[in-house]
Amino acid sequence: MIDFENELNPSQLEAVRTVDGPLLVIAGAGSGKTRVIEYRVLYLVQNNVAPGSILLLTFTRKAAAQMLSRASRHDARCSHVEGGTFHSFAYRVLKKYASRLGFGVFTILDEADAENAVHLCVGKLGIDTKDRRFPRKDTLRKIISMSVNKGRTVEDIVDTEYPNFTGRGPDIERVRNEYAAYKFSKGYLDYDDLLVYLALLLSRHEDIRKNLADR
């Protein structure tokens, strides 16, 4: 058995033991975030919370695997906790309920594929890629992605984050629209789409949202 009081400082202990209602923990680098999550999972399981009802999400596969592995060292039941990245979780849910959003079978574009698809759309639109004031495919993909994730217009992103491309916003917006149409025609989703469509699915379908929440 882990002696939580000896292993954790008071703030960490509070985060681990608070199980009723939502909890937001704000912590900087090196403050023991992974340890808190590891012990929080362990504490929940040891207090009769079903491992299969715990969802552990983070930004990278490596971090998710590390947290689950560390918790499982203390109690084998923790290996039944569902974990992964936000994107992998979104993929699993969308794959199960794709038809509810009008999808058939879909394919995921990784970042390299997404950049190439964006470049293809630039060529299709006849935009001169040799112009130094027009972004290369990797930067173009970042601008489009930032626009999607921040809910801001392409022109706003360009003006505030990439001022060296000021004036090219309308062309980049055309590329974004062409890229969206290209993905739809091919049955492709990129990493941004996974999060966007998961949010859309849960906002439109209360039964699915409730099913996930109840679990």
Once rounded to an integer, what is the mean pLDDT over residues 11-21? 92
Q: What is the pLDDT of residue 129?
A: 76
Residue 208 identity (one-letter amino acid):
I
Domain contains 196: no
Domain contains 147: yes
Residues 8 and 52 in one domain: yes
Residues 114 and 73 in one domain: no
Q: What is the pLDDT of residue 1?
A: 74
Whole-number mean pLDDT of the chain? 92
Q: What is the pLDDT of residue 128?
A: 82
Residues 17 and 64 in one domain: yes
Residues 113 and 176 in one domain: yes
pLDDT band per the 50, 70, 90 thresholds, residue 83: confident
Domain contains 23: yes
Residues 122 and 61 in one domain: no
String of DSSP letters for 6-61: HHS-HHHHHHHH--SS-------TTS-HHHHHHHHHHHHHHTT--GGG-EEEES-H
Contact by Cβ (8 Å): 39, 5: no
Residues 64 and 119 in one domain: no
pLDDT above 90: residue 65: no
Residues 34 and 72 in one domain: yes
Domain contains 134: yes
Domain contains 122: yes
- Of all residues in the chain, the percent with pLDDT exceeding 90 is 71
CATH code, domain with 72 = 3.40.50.300
Backbone angles phi, psi at 194, to 5 degrees: -55, -45
Q: What is the pLDDT of residue 102?
A: 87
Domain contains 99: no
Once rounded to an integer, what is the mean pLDDT over residues 56-65? 85
Q: Give 142-154 pLDDT, tens digit per residue.
A: 999 999 999 999 9
The span from the CA of 188 to the CA of 200, in Å, is 17
| pTM (2 d.p.) | 0.84
Domain contains 87: no
Q: What is the pLDDT of residue 157?
A: 96
Q: Which domain holds residue 76?
A: 4-80
Once rounded to an integer, what is the mean pLDDT over residues 132-145? 93
Please count the CA atoms within 13 angstroms of the CA of 180 that sit on its side-chain side: 13
Tally of domains within the chain: 2
Residues 131 and 69 in one domain: no
Domain contains 40: yes
Q: What is the pLDDT of residue 71?
A: 81
String of DSSP letters for 101-126: GT--S-EE--HHHHHHHHHHHHHHTT
| Residue carrying the six token digits 């971090």 | 63
Once rounded to an integer, what is the mean pLDDT over residues 2-23? 91
Once rounded to an integer, what is the mean pLDDT over residues 201-210? 96
CA 57, 214, 20 angle in degrees (round to 5)?
75
What residues contact 11, with CB distance under 8 A and at least 6 apart? none
Residues 60 and 130 in one domain: no
Q: Give 165-203 pLDDT, tens digit per residue.
A: 999 999 999 999 999 999 999 999 999 999 999 999 999
